[in-house]
A and B are shown apart, each in its own frame.
Chain A
Protein backbone atom coordinates (compact mmCIF):
# COMPACT_ATOMS: atom_id res chain seq x y z
CA UNK A 1 0.00 0.00 0.00
CA UNK A 2 1.36 3.38 -1.01
CA UNK A 3 0.05 6.69 0.28
CA UNK A 4 0.67 9.56 -2.07
CA UNK A 5 1.56 12.73 -0.16
CA UNK A 6 0.90 14.92 -3.21
CA UNK A 7 -2.63 13.61 -3.41
CA UNK A 8 -3.20 14.30 0.27
CA UNK A 9 -1.91 17.83 -0.21
CA UNK A 10 -3.90 18.42 -3.37
CA UNK A 11 -7.08 17.04 -1.83
CA UNK A 12 -6.65 19.19 1.26
CA UNK A 13 -6.14 22.25 -0.93
CA UNK A 14 -9.08 21.21 -3.08
CA UNK A 15 -11.26 20.92 -0.01
CA UNK A 16 -10.23 24.33 1.31
CA UNK A 17 -10.94 25.84 -2.09
CA UNK A 18 -14.33 24.15 -2.06
CA UNK A 19 -14.96 25.57 1.41
CA UNK A 20 -14.29 29.05 0.04
CA UNK A 21 -16.39 28.46 -3.08
CA UNK A 22 -19.41 27.21 -1.20
CA UNK A 23 -19.05 29.91 1.42
CA UNK A 24 -18.95 32.50 -1.33
CA UNK A 25 -21.69 31.12 -3.59
CA UNK A 26 -23.93 29.08 -1.32
CA UNK A 27 -23.85 29.79 2.40
CA UNK A 28 -23.46 33.56 2.29
CA UNK A 29 -26.38 34.31 -0.10
CA UNK A 30 -28.66 31.71 1.44
CA UNK A 31 -27.91 32.87 4.97
CA UNK A 32 -28.40 36.48 3.86
CA UNK A 33 -31.83 35.65 2.47
CA UNK A 34 -32.76 33.75 5.62
CA UNK A 35 -31.56 36.62 7.81
CA UNK A 36 -33.46 39.12 5.69
CA UNK A 37 -36.61 37.04 5.94
CA UNK A 38 -36.17 36.70 9.69
CA UNK A 39 -35.69 40.45 9.92
CA UNK A 40 -38.85 41.00 7.88
CA UNK A 41 -40.69 38.52 10.07
CA UNK A 42 -39.33 40.26 13.14
CA UNK A 43 -40.46 43.59 11.74
CA UNK A 44 -43.93 42.22 11.10
CA UNK A 45 -43.94 40.66 14.54
CA UNK A 46 -42.79 43.87 16.18
CA UNK A 47 -45.39 45.81 14.20
CA UNK A 48 -48.02 43.34 15.30
CA UNK A 49 -46.75 43.64 18.86
CA UNK A 50 -46.88 47.41 18.62
CA UNK A 51 -50.38 47.20 17.20
CA UNK A 52 -51.35 44.81 19.97
CA UNK A 53 -49.91 47.12 22.60
CA UNK A 54 -51.67 50.09 20.98
CA UNK A 55 -54.92 48.12 21.00
CA UNK A 56 -54.37 47.21 24.64
CA UNK A 57 -53.63 50.85 25.47
CA UNK A 58 -56.78 51.91 23.64
CA UNK A 59 -58.72 49.23 25.47
CA UNK A 60 -57.30 50.41 28.80
CA UNK A 61 -58.12 53.97 27.89
CA UNK A 62 -61.68 53.00 27.01
CA UNK A 63 -61.91 51.04 30.24
CA UNK A 64 -60.70 54.06 32.18
CA UNK A 65 -63.18 56.28 30.40
CA UNK A 66 -65.93 53.77 31.13
CA UNK A 67 -64.89 53.73 34.77
CA UNK A 68 -65.08 57.52 34.96
CA UNK A 69 -68.49 57.68 33.28
CA UNK A 70 -70.58 57.29 36.51
CA UNK A 71 -68.61 60.04 38.25
CA UNK A 72 -68.93 62.24 35.18
CA UNK A 73 -72.66 61.49 35.03
CA UNK A 74 -73.07 62.34 38.74
CA UNK A 75 -71.11 65.53 38.25
CA UNK A 76 -73.24 66.56 35.29
CA UNK A 77 -76.45 65.75 37.17
CA UNK A 78 -75.25 67.76 40.19
CA UNK A 79 -74.30 70.67 37.95
CA UNK A 80 -77.68 70.53 36.22
CA UNK A 81 -79.45 70.41 39.58
CA UNK A 82 -77.44 73.35 40.88
CA UNK A 83 -78.18 75.30 37.74
CA UNK A 84 -81.89 74.47 37.96
CA UNK A 85 -81.89 75.45 41.64
CA UNK A 86 -80.21 78.74 40.85
CA UNK A 87 -82.65 79.41 38.04
CA UNK A 88 -85.57 78.53 40.28
CA UNK A 89 -84.26 80.87 42.99
CA UNK A 90 -83.83 83.62 40.42
CA UNK A 91 -87.35 83.06 39.13
CA UNK A 92 -88.70 83.11 42.67
CA UNK A 93 -86.83 86.32 43.44
CA UNK A 94 -88.09 87.92 40.27
CA UNK A 95 -91.65 86.76 40.94
CA UNK A 96 -91.42 87.96 44.54
CA UNK A 97 -90.10 91.32 43.40
CA UNK A 98 -92.82 91.64 40.79
CA UNK A 99 -95.44 90.61 43.34
CA UNK A 100 -94.13 93.16 45.86
CA UNK A 101 -94.10 95.79 43.16
CA UNK A 102 -97.66 94.92 42.13
CA UNK A 103 -98.70 94.92 45.78
CA UNK A 104 -97.12 98.32 46.31
CA UNK A 105 -98.85 99.64 43.22
CA UNK A 106 -102.16 98.18 44.38
CA UNK A 107 -101.69 99.66 47.82
CA UNK A 108 -100.84 103.05 46.36
CA UNK A 109 -103.77 102.90 43.99
CA UNK A 110 -106.06 101.78 46.80
CA UNK A 111 -104.83 104.57 49.06
CA UNK A 112 -105.31 107.08 46.27
CA UNK A 113 -108.78 105.80 45.54
CA UNK A 114 -109.58 105.80 49.24
CA UNK A 115 -108.29 109.36 49.55
CA UNK A 116 -110.33 110.39 46.55
CA UNK A 117 -113.39 108.66 47.92
CA UNK A 118 -112.83 110.12 51.33
CA UNK A 119 -112.35 113.59 49.84
CA UNK A 120 -115.50 113.23 47.80
CA UNK A 121 -117.32 111.97 50.85
CA UNK A 122 -116.05 114.88 52.90
CA UNK A 123 -117.01 117.32 50.23
CA UNK A 124 -120.40 115.73 50.05
CA UNK A 125 -120.68 115.80 53.84
CA UNK A 126 -119.66 119.47 53.86
CA UNK A 127 -122.20 120.24 51.17
CA UNK A 128 -124.80 118.31 53.08
CA UNK A 129 -123.88 120.12 56.30
CA UNK A 130 -123.92 123.45 54.57
CA UNK A 131 -127.28 122.74 53.01
CA UNK A 132 -128.61 121.57 56.34
CA UNK A 133 -127.28 124.68 58.13
CA UNK A 134 -128.66 126.89 55.36
CA UNK A 135 -132.08 125.33 55.71
CA UNK A 136 -132.03 125.58 59.48
CA UNK A 137 -130.77 129.18 59.47
CA UNK A 138 -133.22 130.24 56.79
CA UNK A 139 -135.99 129.83 59.32
CA UNK A 140 -134.05 131.71 62.01
CA UNK A 141 -134.80 135.37 62.87
CA UNK A 142 -132.35 136.71 60.28
CA UNK A 143 -133.68 140.21 60.50
CA UNK A 144 -132.50 140.60 63.99
CA UNK A 145 -129.00 139.60 62.89
CA UNK A 146 -128.78 141.99 59.91
CA UNK A 147 -128.09 145.08 61.96
CA UNK A 148 -125.12 143.70 63.93
CA UNK A 149 -123.63 142.24 60.81
CA UNK A 150 -124.10 145.56 59.02
CA UNK A 151 -122.35 147.21 61.93
CA UNK A 152 -119.48 144.72 61.56
CA UNK A 153 -119.21 145.42 57.84
CA UNK A 154 -119.02 149.12 58.40
CA UNK A 155 -116.48 148.57 61.17
CA UNK A 156 -114.40 146.47 58.81
CA UNK A 157 -114.32 149.32 56.29
CA UNK A 158 -113.42 151.73 59.01
CA UNK A 159 -110.63 149.41 60.15
CA UNK A 160 -108.89 149.63 56.79
CA UNK A 161 -105.92 151.94 56.49
CA UNK A 162 -106.12 155.11 54.41
CA UNK A 163 -104.65 153.69 51.23
CA UNK A 164 -107.04 150.78 51.27
CA UNK A 165 -110.02 153.04 51.85
CA UNK A 166 -108.77 155.27 48.99
CA UNK A 167 -108.59 152.19 46.77
CA UNK A 168 -112.17 151.36 47.68
CA UNK A 169 -113.28 154.86 46.67
CA UNK A 170 -111.51 154.40 43.35
CA UNK A 171 -111.05 158.18 42.95
CA UNK A 172 -114.75 158.91 42.38
CA UNK A 173 -116.50 161.99 43.82
CA UNK A 174 -119.46 159.91 44.92
CA UNK A 175 -118.57 156.35 45.81
CA UNK A 176 -121.17 153.88 44.44
CA UNK A 177 -121.78 151.11 46.92
CA UNK A 178 -124.33 148.35 46.48
CA UNK A 179 -125.61 147.12 49.83
CA UNK A 180 -127.01 143.57 49.49
CA UNK A 181 -128.98 142.33 52.49
CA UNK A 182 -130.62 139.02 53.26
CA UNK A 183 -133.90 140.69 53.98
CA UNK A 184 -135.54 144.07 53.75
CA UNK A 185 -133.38 146.78 55.38
CA UNK A 186 -134.96 149.64 57.24
CA UNK A 187 -134.33 153.18 56.14
CA UNK A 188 -132.81 153.95 59.46
CA UNK A 189 -130.27 151.17 59.11
CA UNK A 190 -129.51 152.22 55.53
CA UNK A 191 -129.02 155.84 56.52
CA UNK A 192 -126.84 154.82 59.43
CA UNK A 193 -124.67 152.68 57.12
CA UNK A 194 -124.41 155.46 54.51
CA UNK A 195 -123.27 157.87 57.14
CA UNK A 196 -120.60 155.54 58.52
CA UNK A 197 -119.26 154.75 55.10
CA UNK A 198 -119.23 158.44 54.09
CA UNK A 199 -117.21 159.18 57.18
CA UNK A 200 -114.90 156.21 56.64
CA UNK A 201 -114.26 156.92 52.97
CA UNK A 202 -114.18 160.69 53.33
CA UNK A 203 -116.57 161.44 50.50
CA UNK A 204 -120.27 160.98 49.67
CA UNK A 205 -121.55 157.49 49.15
CA UNK A 206 -124.30 156.53 46.68
CA UNK A 207 -125.85 153.60 48.40
CA UNK A 208 -127.89 151.12 46.34
CA UNK A 209 -130.00 148.73 48.37
CA UNK A 210 -130.67 145.19 47.09
CA UNK A 211 -132.13 142.09 48.68
CA UNK A 212 -130.36 138.72 48.39
CA UNK A 213 -132.03 135.89 50.34
CA UNK A 214 -129.11 133.59 49.54
CA UNK A 215 -127.10 135.46 52.13
CA UNK A 216 -129.38 133.85 54.80
CA UNK A 217 -128.42 136.56 57.22
CA UNK A 218 -126.14 139.62 57.02
CA UNK A 219 -124.97 141.97 54.29
CA UNK A 220 -122.47 142.50 51.51
CA UNK A 221 -120.90 145.81 50.56
CA UNK A 222 -120.05 145.76 46.86
CA UNK A 223 -117.51 148.46 45.91
CA UNK A 224 -116.16 148.99 42.43
CA UNK A 225 -113.41 146.41 42.78
CA UNK A 226 -113.93 144.81 46.16
CA UNK A 227 -116.63 143.23 48.29
CA UNK A 228 -116.93 143.28 52.07
CA UNK A 229 -118.98 140.28 53.18
CA UNK A 230 -120.54 139.82 56.57
CA UNK A 231 -123.15 137.11 56.05
CA UNK A 232 -123.93 133.64 57.13
CA UNK A 233 -123.57 132.48 53.56
CA UNK A 234 -119.95 133.55 53.69
CA UNK A 235 -119.50 132.12 57.17
CA UNK A 236 -120.86 128.80 56.04
CA UNK A 237 -118.66 128.82 52.91
CA UNK A 238 -115.58 129.60 54.99
CA UNK A 239 -116.52 126.90 57.49
CA UNK A 240 -117.02 124.42 54.63
CA UNK A 241 -113.71 125.36 53.08
CA UNK A 242 -111.97 125.19 56.41
CA UNK A 243 -113.49 121.81 57.14
CA UNK A 244 -112.65 120.44 53.69
CA UNK A 245 -109.07 121.70 53.92
CA UNK A 246 -108.66 120.28 57.38
CA UNK A 247 -110.07 116.88 56.37
CA UNK A 248 -107.95 116.77 53.21
CA UNK A 249 -104.83 117.41 55.26
CA UNK A 250 -105.81 114.70 57.68
CA UNK A 251 -106.56 112.28 54.81
CA UNK A 252 -103.17 112.98 53.24
CA UNK A 253 -101.52 112.33 56.58
CA UNK A 254 -103.38 109.03 56.89
CA UNK A 255 -102.32 108.05 53.37
CA UNK A 256 -98.70 108.84 54.11
CA UNK A 257 -98.98 106.92 57.34
Chain B
Protein backbone atom coordinates (compact mmCIF):
# COMPACT_ATOMS: atom_id res chain seq x y z
CA UNK B 1 0.00 0.00 0.00
CA UNK B 2 2.48 2.56 -1.26
CA UNK B 3 0.09 4.38 -3.61
CA UNK B 4 -1.57 7.58 -2.57
CA UNK B 5 -5.11 7.01 -1.35
CA UNK B 6 -6.22 9.93 -3.49
CA UNK B 7 -5.18 8.30 -6.78
CA UNK B 8 -7.43 6.02 -8.80
CA UNK B 9 -5.54 3.15 -10.35
CA UNK B 10 -6.42 2.28 -13.94
CA UNK B 11 -6.85 -1.42 -14.54
CA UNK B 12 -7.13 -1.27 -18.29
CA UNK B 13 -8.04 1.16 -21.00
CA UNK B 14 -10.99 0.55 -23.29
CA UNK B 15 -10.43 2.93 -26.22
CA UNK B 16 -10.56 6.41 -24.79
CA UNK B 17 -12.10 5.16 -21.57
CA UNK B 18 -9.77 4.26 -18.75
CA UNK B 19 -11.39 1.50 -16.65
CA UNK B 20 -10.29 2.10 -13.08
CA UNK B 21 -10.14 -0.24 -10.08
CA UNK B 22 -13.37 0.92 -8.38
CA UNK B 23 -15.24 0.30 -11.63
CA UNK B 24 -13.92 -3.24 -11.90
CA UNK B 25 -14.61 -3.97 -8.24
CA UNK B 26 -18.10 -2.52 -8.65
CA UNK B 27 -18.71 -4.83 -11.57
CA UNK B 28 -17.77 -7.74 -9.40
CA UNK B 29 -19.99 -6.59 -6.60
CA UNK B 30 -22.84 -6.02 -9.04
CA UNK B 31 -22.43 -9.49 -10.43
CA UNK B 32 -22.31 -11.01 -6.98
CA UNK B 33 -25.36 -9.09 -5.75
CA UNK B 34 -27.40 -9.80 -8.88
CA UNK B 35 -26.47 -13.46 -8.89
CA UNK B 36 -27.17 -13.75 -5.18
CA UNK B 37 -30.56 -12.11 -5.67
CA UNK B 38 -31.43 -14.48 -8.50
CA UNK B 39 -30.42 -17.51 -6.48
CA UNK B 40 -32.07 -16.34 -3.29
CA UNK B 41 -35.39 -15.50 -4.93
CA UNK B 42 -35.70 -18.64 -7.02
CA UNK B 43 -38.00 -20.50 -4.67
CA UNK B 44 -39.98 -17.96 -2.76
CA UNK B 45 -42.98 -19.34 -0.91
CA UNK B 46 -45.92 -17.63 0.67
CA UNK B 47 -46.27 -20.20 3.41
CA UNK B 48 -43.38 -21.53 5.51
CA UNK B 49 -40.55 -19.48 3.99
CA UNK B 50 -36.95 -20.72 4.35
CA UNK B 51 -34.17 -19.01 6.25
CA UNK B 52 -32.78 -17.20 3.23
CA UNK B 53 -36.23 -16.00 2.22
CA UNK B 54 -36.89 -14.88 5.77
CA UNK B 55 -33.65 -12.87 5.82
CA UNK B 56 -34.45 -11.35 2.42
CA UNK B 57 -37.96 -10.37 3.50
CA UNK B 58 -36.58 -8.97 6.75
CA UNK B 59 -34.00 -6.85 4.89
CA UNK B 60 -36.44 -5.58 2.28
CA UNK B 61 -39.18 -4.89 4.80
CA UNK B 62 -36.73 -3.10 7.14
CA UNK B 63 -35.49 -0.96 4.28
CA UNK B 64 -39.00 -0.08 3.24
CA UNK B 65 -40.01 0.79 6.80
CA UNK B 66 -36.92 2.93 7.38
CA UNK B 67 -37.43 4.80 4.12
CA UNK B 68 -41.12 5.31 4.88
CA UNK B 69 -40.34 6.63 8.38
CA UNK B 70 -37.71 8.96 6.99
CA UNK B 71 -39.71 10.25 4.04
CA UNK B 72 -43.10 10.18 5.78
CA UNK B 73 -44.58 8.59 2.66
CA UNK B 74 -45.16 5.28 0.93
CA UNK B 75 -41.65 3.89 0.40
CA UNK B 76 -42.42 1.43 -2.38
CA UNK B 77 -41.69 3.84 -5.31
CA UNK B 78 -38.36 4.85 -3.72
CA UNK B 79 -37.30 1.40 -2.55
CA UNK B 80 -35.31 0.39 -5.67
CA UNK B 81 -33.15 3.52 -5.62
CA UNK B 82 -32.66 4.01 -1.88
CA UNK B 83 -32.59 0.30 -1.03
CA UNK B 84 -30.01 -0.39 -3.68
CA UNK B 85 -28.03 2.60 -2.46
CA UNK B 86 -27.86 1.18 1.05
CA UNK B 87 -27.12 -2.38 -0.04
CA UNK B 88 -24.43 -1.30 -2.50
CA UNK B 89 -22.82 1.04 0.01
CA UNK B 90 -22.84 -1.64 2.71
CA UNK B 91 -21.38 -4.27 0.43
CA UNK B 92 -18.89 -1.83 -1.08
CA UNK B 93 -17.76 -0.51 2.27
CA UNK B 94 -17.32 -3.98 3.70
CA UNK B 95 -15.53 -5.21 0.60
CA UNK B 96 -12.55 -3.18 1.74
CA UNK B 97 -12.07 -5.64 4.57
CA UNK B 98 -11.50 -8.48 2.11
CA UNK B 99 -7.74 -8.93 1.64
CA UNK B 100 -6.65 -7.81 -1.78
CA UNK B 101 -9.75 -5.74 -2.44
CA UNK B 102 -10.16 -2.02 -2.09
CA UNK B 103 -13.61 -0.62 -1.39
CA UNK B 104 -14.96 1.31 -4.39
CA UNK B 105 -16.35 3.88 -1.99
CA UNK B 106 -12.83 4.64 -0.82
CA UNK B 107 -12.42 6.47 -4.13
CA UNK B 108 -13.87 9.91 -4.53
CA UNK B 109 -15.23 9.12 -8.01
CA UNK B 110 -17.56 6.41 -6.64
CA UNK B 111 -18.85 8.63 -3.82
CA UNK B 112 -19.23 11.50 -6.27
CA UNK B 113 -21.08 9.30 -8.74
CA UNK B 114 -23.52 8.18 -6.04
CA UNK B 115 -23.99 11.74 -4.81
CA UNK B 116 -24.58 12.84 -8.40
CA UNK B 117 -27.19 10.13 -8.88
CA UNK B 118 -28.95 11.21 -5.67
CA UNK B 119 -28.81 14.87 -6.76
CA UNK B 120 -30.22 14.18 -10.19
CA UNK B 121 -32.80 11.72 -8.85
CA UNK B 122 -34.06 14.21 -6.27
CA UNK B 123 -34.39 16.93 -8.94
CA UNK B 124 -36.15 14.57 -11.37
CA UNK B 125 -38.50 13.13 -8.77
CA UNK B 126 -39.24 16.59 -7.38
CA UNK B 127 -40.14 17.93 -10.82
CA UNK B 128 -42.22 14.85 -11.68
CA UNK B 129 -44.12 14.90 -8.39
CA UNK B 130 -44.65 18.65 -7.97
CA UNK B 131 -44.35 20.00 -11.52
CA UNK B 132 -41.49 22.04 -12.99
CA UNK B 133 -42.72 25.47 -12.02
CA UNK B 134 -43.75 24.55 -8.50
CA UNK B 135 -40.47 22.76 -7.98
CA UNK B 136 -38.41 25.68 -9.22
CA UNK B 137 -40.49 28.04 -7.11
CA UNK B 138 -39.35 26.06 -4.11
CA UNK B 139 -35.83 27.41 -4.60
CA UNK B 140 -37.16 30.95 -4.11
CA UNK B 141 -38.74 30.05 -0.80
CA UNK B 142 -39.14 31.86 1.57
CA UNK B 143 -37.81 34.83 -0.49
CA UNK B 144 -36.33 35.09 -3.99
CA UNK B 145 -33.25 36.57 -2.42
CA UNK B 146 -32.36 33.12 -1.18
CA UNK B 147 -32.49 31.58 -4.67
CA UNK B 148 -28.69 31.48 -5.14
CA UNK B 149 -28.16 30.15 -1.67
CA UNK B 150 -30.76 27.43 -2.14
CA UNK B 151 -29.21 26.32 -5.41
CA UNK B 152 -25.80 26.35 -3.81
CA UNK B 153 -27.22 24.38 -0.90
CA UNK B 154 -28.39 21.66 -3.28
CA UNK B 155 -24.91 21.35 -4.75
CA UNK B 156 -23.08 21.48 -1.45
CA UNK B 157 -25.35 18.84 0.04
CA UNK B 158 -24.41 16.47 -2.74
CA UNK B 159 -20.78 17.42 -2.37
CA UNK B 160 -20.87 16.86 1.38
CA UNK B 161 -22.49 13.48 0.82
CA UNK B 162 -19.69 12.32 -1.42
CA UNK B 163 -16.87 13.77 0.64
CA UNK B 164 -18.26 12.37 3.91
CA UNK B 165 -18.48 8.89 2.48
CA UNK B 166 -15.15 9.05 0.72
CA UNK B 167 -13.36 10.53 3.76
CA UNK B 168 -14.67 8.00 6.24
CA UNK B 169 -14.08 4.90 4.14
CA UNK B 170 -10.78 6.02 2.72
CA UNK B 171 -9.44 7.09 6.12
CA UNK B 172 -10.50 3.84 7.72
CA UNK B 173 -8.73 1.76 5.10
CA UNK B 174 -5.70 4.04 5.21
CA UNK B 175 -5.39 3.76 8.99
CA UNK B 176 -5.73 -0.01 8.85
CA UNK B 177 -3.07 -0.19 6.15
CA UNK B 178 -0.67 1.98 8.16
CA UNK B 179 -1.24 0.00 11.37
CA UNK B 180 -0.88 -3.27 9.47
CA UNK B 181 2.43 -2.16 7.97
CA UNK B 182 3.74 -1.02 11.34
CA UNK B 183 2.41 -3.49 13.96
CA UNK B 184 1.93 -6.85 12.32
CA UNK B 185 -0.87 -9.25 11.49
CA UNK B 186 -3.36 -9.21 14.43
CA UNK B 187 -3.07 -5.67 15.76
CA UNK B 188 -5.40 -4.12 13.14
CA UNK B 189 -8.22 -6.57 13.95
CA UNK B 190 -9.99 -4.19 16.39
CA UNK B 191 -9.64 -1.43 13.85
CA UNK B 192 -11.10 -3.69 11.19
CA UNK B 193 -14.07 -4.45 13.46
CA UNK B 194 -14.52 -0.75 13.93
CA UNK B 195 -14.30 -0.29 10.18
CA UNK B 196 -17.00 -2.93 9.77
CA UNK B 197 -19.28 -0.88 11.99
CA UNK B 198 -18.30 2.38 10.33
CA UNK B 199 -19.00 0.95 6.89
CA UNK B 200 -22.55 0.04 7.87
CA UNK B 201 -23.03 3.35 9.65
CA UNK B 202 -21.83 5.28 6.62
CA UNK B 203 -24.13 3.32 4.35
CA UNK B 204 -27.02 4.09 6.68
CA UNK B 205 -26.12 7.79 6.92
CA UNK B 206 -25.73 8.17 3.17
CA UNK B 207 -29.06 6.42 2.53
CA UNK B 208 -30.97 8.38 5.17
CA UNK B 209 -29.57 11.69 3.90
CA UNK B 210 -30.48 10.72 0.35
CA UNK B 211 -34.02 9.87 1.55
CA UNK B 212 -34.22 13.23 3.29
CA UNK B 213 -33.07 15.08 0.17
CA UNK B 214 -35.50 13.22 -2.08
CA UNK B 215 -38.31 13.61 0.48
CA UNK B 216 -37.64 17.35 0.59
CA UNK B 217 -37.63 17.48 -3.19
CA UNK B 218 -40.96 15.66 -3.61
CA UNK B 219 -42.47 17.60 -0.72
CA UNK B 220 -43.26 14.79 1.70
CA UNK B 221 -41.01 16.35 4.36
CA UNK B 222 -39.77 19.83 5.07
CA UNK B 223 -36.81 20.74 2.97
CA UNK B 224 -33.71 20.93 5.15
Contacts and interface: CB of A to CB of B under 8 A. Distances in A.
Nearest to B16: A6
Interface string B6-21: 1110000000011110
Contacts of A36: 46
B8 A4 contact: yes
A4 B46 contact: no
Contacts, number: 121
Tier of interface size on chain A:
20 to 34
B57 A15 contact: no
Interface of B: 6-8, 17-20, 22-23, 26-27, 30, 33-34, 37-38, 40-41, 44-47, 49, 53, 56-57, 60-61, 76, 79-81, 83-85, 87-88, 104, 107-110, 112-114, 116-117
Given A1-B6, A11-B110, A22-B80, 20 more contacts: A1-B7, A1-B108, A2-B7, A3-B108, A4-B20, A7-B113, A8-B109, A11-B26, A12-B114, A15-B88, A15-B117, A18-B33, A21-B34, A22-B33, A22-B87, A23-B80, A27-B60, A27-B80, A30-B60, A31-B76
A9 B113 contact: yes
Contact of A8 (B61, B83, B113): B113
Q: What DSSP secondary structure best describes chain B's contact surface? A: helix
A14 to B, nearest CB: 5
B19 A10 contact: yes
A160 interface: no
A12 B116 contact: yes
A16 B117 contact: yes
Nearest to B108: A3
Contact of A26 (B7, B18, B60, B107): B60
A37 B19 CA distance: 44
Interface in A31-90: 31-34, 36-37, 40
Q: Specify which of B30, B53, B61, B109 lies most central, judged by the most chain A CB atoms within 10 Å of its CB.
A: B109
Contact of B57 (A3, A21, A30, A40): A30
Given A21-B34, A34-B57, A34-B61, A7 B83 contact: no
B7 A14 contact: no
Nearest to B42: A29
Nearest to B7: A2
B8 A2 contact: yes
Contact of A33 (B17, B45, B88): B45
Nearest to A14: B26
Contacts of A18: 30, 33-34, 84, 88
A83 B104 CA distance: 102
A5 B41 CA distance: 36
Q: What DSSP secondary structure best describes chain A's contact surface? A: helix
Nearest to B18: A6
B109 to A, nearest CB: 4
Given A17-B30, A25-B34, A36-B46, A30 B41 contact: yes
A126 B113 CA distance: 162
A26 B108 CA distance: 28
A17 B110 CA distance: 14
Contacts of A17: 30
A83 B213 CA distance: 89
30 contacts: A2-B8, A7-B22, A8-B109, A10-B17, A11-B23, A11-B110, A12-B113, A14-B26, A15-B88, A18-B30, A18-B34, A19-B81, A19-B84, A22-B84, A23-B80, A25-B37, A25-B38, A26-B37, A26-B60, A27-B83, A30-B44, A30-B53, A30-B57, A31-B60, A31-B76, A33-B45, A33-B46, A34-B61, A36-B46, A40-B46
A26 B41 contact: yes
Given A14-B27, A25-B38, A27-B83, A7 B20 contact: yes
Contact of A14 (B17, B30, B80, B108): B30
A20 B117 CA distance: 14
Contacts of B79: 27, 31
Nearest to A10: B23
